[in-house]
Amino acid sequence: MRKGNGKTESNIDLGQDLRGDHLQDLDRELPAAESGEGSAPTLVTGQSDPATAMSETEKLKAERDALLDRLARLQAEFDNARKRAAREQQDFREFAAADVIKNMLPTLDSFERALKMGGGSSEFRNGIELIYRQFQDALQKIGVQPIVAVGQAFDPRIHEAIEMVDRTDVPDHQVVEELQRGYRYKERLLRPAMVRVSRNAA
- Kindly report, residue by residue over 88-127, the tens digit of the pLDDT: 888 888 888 898 999 999 999 988 888 888 766 788 888 8
pLDDT recorded at residue 195: 96
- Which amino acid is residue 3, in one-letter code? K
Tell me which residue range forms the domain holding 173: 143-202
Q: How far apart are the first and last CA of the chain?
A: 168
Q: Find the helix or strand (DSSP H, E) in which 180 lies.
A: strand 175-180
In-domain check, residue 5: no
In-domain check, residue 164: yes
Contact residues for 165 (Cβ-Cβ < 8 A; gap 6+): 176, 177, 196, 197, 198, 199
61 forms beta bridges with none
pTM: 0.57
In-domain check, residue 130: no
In-domain check, residue 24: no
In-domain check, residue 162: yes
Q: Which of 65, 138, 66 is nearest to 101 (CA)?
A: 138
pLDDT recorded at residue 176: 94
pLDDT recorded at residue 48: 56
| CATH number of the domain residue 192 falls in | 2.30.22.10
46 or 143: which leads in pLDDT: 143
In-domain check, residue 161: yes
Per-residue pLDDT of 145-182, as tens digits, reads 999 999 999 999 999 999 999 988 889 999 999 999 99
CA distances from 52 to 44, 125, 149 (A): 19, 95, 80
In-domain check, residue 120: no
- Which amino acid is residue 35, in one-letter code? S
In-domain check, residue 77: no
Contact residues for 114 (Cβ-Cβ < 8 A; gap 6+): 128
pLDDT recorded at residue 15: 46
Task: Please state the domain count of the chain.
Answer: 1
- For residues 114-142, average pLDDT: 86
pLDDT recorded at residue 202: 55
Per-residue pLDDT of 26-83, as tens digits, reads 455 544 444 444 444 444 444 557 777 778 888 888 899 899 999 999 999 999 999 9
What is the longest distance spanned by two Cα atoms in the chain?
174
Whether residue 135 is predicted with pLDDT greater than 50 in this model: the reply is yes
